[in-house]
């Protein structure tokens, strides 16, 4: 499992520059869509929350509402496609497995 402190570091680094340094390796922060950020670290991907994301009920998701309010929201997705955690302003909450 990826540590919360490492995920927090990645989330903050994504908003602070164009690369995320892990050991001696620099990972590029890619722009996706119009203004969203994403970084692929091999065993997981960190993705900036889309503030326009709607849930199945047609209303903004919790993450979208937080992003709309100015929070830095990053979703963490494993290589098998599961969302494993979310960071809001660097504070990480893991999703149940």
49-96: per-residue pLDDT in tens? 999 889 999 999 999 999 999 999 999 999 899 999 999 999 999 998
The domain total for the chain is 1
- Structural domain span for residue 36: 4-94
41: burial class by Cβ within 10 Å (0-12, 13-18, 19+)? middle
Q: pLDDT tens digits for 6-26?
A: 999 999 999 888 999 888 989
d(CA 1, CA 7): 11
For the four alpha carbons of 78, 81, 85 and 86, in that order, the dihedral sign comes to positive
Cα 36–Cα 42–Cα 46 angle in degrees, nearest 5: 25
Q: Is 92 in contact with 68 (CB distance < 8 Å)?
A: no
State CA 82 to chain mean position distance. 13
Stated pTM of the model: 0.90
């Amino acid at each position: 499992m990826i540590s919360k402190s490492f995920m927090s570091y990645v989330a903050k680094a994504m908003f602070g520059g164009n690369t995320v340094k892990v050991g001696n390796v620099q990972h590029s922060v890619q722009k996706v869509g119009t203004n969203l950020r994403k970084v692929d670290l091999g065993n997981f991907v960190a993705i900036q929350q889309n503030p326009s994301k709607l849930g199945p009920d047609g209303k903004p998701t919790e993450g979208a509402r937080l992003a709309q309010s100015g929070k830095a929201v990053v979703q963490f997705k494993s290589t098998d496609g599961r969302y494993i955690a979310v960071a809001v302003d660097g504070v990480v909450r893991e999703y149940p497995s």
